[in-house]
Amino acid sequence: MHRCVVMGCRNLRENASSSGLTFFAFPEDHRTLVWCTTLNLDAGASYKGKVICSKHFLAEDMKITRKLLPTATPKILQIKPMSDLTDTSMSGKKFISRSTQSDTEPPISAS
């Protein structure tokens, strides 16, 4: 199991999809020392395979990318009730179809 390395944090990478968290691997460059210093971790230890959860970063420090996999297809279809599908742009106007027009109605004059 991959647990966030921040002391006291119990977030698990395996629960990422249900928790809404993102997990980040330790950088493999000079930033490792900065991260270790900030988190009060042993800078001489190996952090390969170790992760830190998104709760320990500010929102502005994270990129949000939303890309679909090539095999992705829509799977969530929201069906609206018929009452939501009515066109309100024509509200207040009355339409009579020719098939329902009675013979007693006066003809429409072209004036």
pLDDT tens-digit map of 44-66: 999 999 998 888 898 888 877 75
- Indicate the pTM of the whole model: 0.55
Q: Convert the pLDDT of each residue in 31-46 to its tens digit.
A: 888 999 898 899 999 9
| Two structure tokens written together for 29 | 């460059």
Q: Convert the pLDDT of each residue in 3-31 to its tens digit.
A: 988 988 988 988 887 888 888 888 888 88
Closest among 70, 61, 54 to 22, alpha carbons compared: 54
Name the residue range of residue 36's domain.
Answer: 13-61
Three-state SS for 51? Answer: strand
Q: What region does 92 belong to: left with phi over 0, alpha with psi -120 to 50, or beta?
A: left
- Residue 104 to residue 39: CA distance in whole angstroms: 87
Q: Are 62 and 22 in contact (CB under 8 A)?
A: yes
Give the chain's domain count. 1
- The answer to whether residue 43 sits within a structural domain is yes
- The answer to whether residue 48 sits within a structural domain is yes
